[in-house]
Amino acid sequence: MTNPLLTPGDMPFELPDFAAIEDAHFAPALDAAEAETRAAIEEITRNPDAPTFANTIEPLELSDEALNEVLGPFFLLAAVSSTPEREALQRAFSPRLSTLGTDIALNEALFARIDVLWEQRDEHDLTDEQLRVLYLHHRSFRRAGAALDEEGRARLREINSALSEKSTAFGLNLLADERDWFMPVTDTAGLPAFLINAMKSAAEEKGSDAPIVTLSRSLIVPFLQFSPNRALRKKAYEAWTSRGANGGKTDNRTLAAEMLSLRAERAALLGYESFADYRLETEMAKAPGKVRDLLQAVWSPAREQAEIDAKALEKRLHADGFDGPLEPWDWHFYAEARRKEEHALDEAELKNYFQLDRMIEAVFSCANRLFGLEFKPLDVDLHHPDARAWDVTRNGEHYAVFIGDYFARSGKRSGAWCSALRAQKTLGGVTTPHVVNVCNFAKPPEGQPALLSYDDARTLFHEFGHALHQMLSDVTYGSISGTSVPRDFVELPSQLYEHWLEVPDVLDQFATHAETGEPMPADLRDRVLAATTYNMAYQTCEYIGSALVDLEFHAGPPPADPMQKQAEVLEEIGMPRAIRMRHATPHFAHVFSGGYASAYYSYMWSEVMDADAFAAFEEAGSAFDETTAKRLEDNILSTGGSEDPEALYTAYRGRLPGVEALLKGRGLDRVA
């Protein structure tokens, strides 16, 4: 049969032909792509000529092109439309890909060529970008164990394979728990219409006669905000927070312990005191102590304000006739009531002004005003009927294809993320990126507009900031393209782009009522902006709790019982009893099935920069100042990993920022 993953198609801009791709195509395509990669590596190592950048690094850069063409579509489908067949393929592919990566990283002949080239780098006429790429490859091979003895390399292979398999299993277990649980709600009294509609839409997919709550954040959070039924709130909240910890075959607690032990062993094998020391060596933070200092500097004022807020919410709980303390499943409900009272904001009213389609227009408009990008809808078959695509151009030149997949559904991984089906590069011919934003917003009933919460709209802007980092990339080598930067720098463009949602004239133009089409009244807009830091102490505590647990998991000996260690860390920092970690260990996908181990702090590290980075526009007198936008693109958005992040940020801003802007942006400066 003709395999569309192995033969050139006629899709616009060389997009994958999803309509033709079948699950049966992936295994033979991976066989062929792996063989091509191994052949490319062998050709490099058998070259009798002295190593040069052109005969060693450049073919290494191109060696995984076929793999990317196969794995890009596969991993997208596995994440957004999981099936038992695709889960089986994931489990089968995981050890294979780990073995391939390890074989390359521990290839003595390949590392010898790179090592010689690095030692003789001054003898070669290398550009700054080439020197950076050579440095990163050399460092990567060293950190991967290329300099270990035979026994060490053999053990590292075993560790890498085991970690890969366990990481895949962790993610699939979590997906199973999220997919299988739902709660029918026969009495919807007190729930706003937008939520009832979303629950009915979810019920149709599950075949339920009654509206349902699923474990999609876009349903769970508004249900916790609006349901007056405390018992149902508790049931929903505990289901949400017990993902991965329900016993049976999908329980992740043992997997987490095993992964922490394997990571610690790998770090020790490579000569590091801890996995955190190993991991943070390549980040801006460099060391666990700096991460801990940042998190503690923000924790103290956040906890102080959270305790004040908890007392105010507990009074409301008691006024409703409930004895005892405020519980985690109470916080959202009473915080929403307090916000409505103190800021005269009603989430049900507010959502009418945040239509998904209008917010997509808003992110596109801001990108146009800042960077001159234009977006034209593409009529192409994609991976799911809900997904849509746009041709991204500037001055008539094609820059990228942007794909948005916005609605929650069964079999789709929770959360929101940005990925690239292919990355920008010019080596081997100009390659423009295919960038995907994935979200999990509640899907409305047929014929009704999708309505977002303000936090949903912020998520939309956040992920599009990542997309801009990919689409505006302008480098030669794929390994440093787009978001191929340290974790504590990669969140800068995304978190920075969130600020444009708060620009008044953006809201005036795009926050229009779903029924009347009228723009948001100025007084409501001002109340929305005044409330942007409302409940921020809660959000900060749940985030820092997760970040500190992640750090302490990896900064010392691996805990035999991660749940006990989690409890000890939270007790030591004095976590308020009505606030829990944003991501508890059994469903901490960032750390155990993503790339954030020891690095969940990176969102806050980047926030230190994003608050200061947006201040540059404010100092220039306009959120759309052309000179500042050009400086942002030239020094951060287009440069990928071609320079050290500190140098890139300093080139943009003239200096590195302090924590003060972050505290001010979160409304915690008054407490501090």
Taking the chain, what is the end-to-end CA distance rounded to the nearest angstrom?
66
Other C-beta atoms within 10 Å of 268: how many?
Answer: 13
Length of the chain: 672
In three-state secondary structure terms, 386 is: coil
- Strands 374-378 and 397-407 come out as unpaired
Token output for 300? 């103290």
Token output for 437? 């934003």
Question: How is the chain split among helix, strand and coil, in percent rounded to 5?
Answer: 60, 5, 35
In DSSP terms, 405 is beta-bridged to 438
Q: Could you tell me which of 439, 362, 349, 359 has the C-alpha nearest to residue 403?
A: 439
Give the distance from CA 186 to its chain's centroid.
Answer: 35
Is 57 in contact with 124 (CB distance < 8 Å)? no
In three-state form (DSSP H/G/I as H, E/B as E, the rest C), the secondary structure along 153-167 is HHHHHHHHHHHHHHH
Q: Name residue 2's amino acid.
A: T
672 contact partners, CB below 8 Å, separation of at least 6: 300, 301, 663
Is 552 in contact with 565 (CB distance < 8 Å)? yes
Q: Name residue 26's amino acid.
A: F
In three-state form (DSSP H/G/I as H, E/B as E, the rest C), the secondary structure along 330-343 is HHHHHHHHHHHHHH
Determine whether 219 is exposed, middle or buried from the number of CB atoms within 10 Å of its CB (0-12, 13-18, 19+). Answer: buried
In three-state secondary structure terms, 441 is: strand
In three-state secondary structure terms, 512 is: strand
Other C-beta atoms within 10 Å of 145: how many?
Answer: 23
Q: Could you tell me which of 457, 432, 433, 562 has the C-alpha nearest to residue 507?
A: 457
Is 392 in contact with 400 (CB distance < 8 Å)? yes
Is 596 in contact with 590 (CB distance < 8 Å)? yes
Please tell me the distance from the alpha carbon of residue 74 to that of residue 63, in angstroms, as a whole number.
19
In order, the DSSP letters of 571-634 are HHHT--TT---SS-GGG-HHHHTSS-TTTTTHHHHHHHHHHHHHHHHHHHT-TT-HHHHHHHII
Please tell me the distance from the alpha carbon of residue 465 to that of residue 443, in angstroms, as a whole number.
23
291 contact partners, CB below 8 Å, separation of at least 6: 276, 280, 285, 547, 551, 601, 605
Task: State the residue for tokens 């997997």.
Answer: 255
The vertex-546 CA angle with 316 and 540, nearest 5°, equals: 50
Active site residues: 463
Sign of the alpha-carbon dihedral angle for 418, 9, 65, 52: negative
Please tell me the distance from the alpha carbon of residue 70 to that of residue 100, in angstroms, as a whole number.
15
Task: State the residue for tokens 């062993």.
Answer: 265
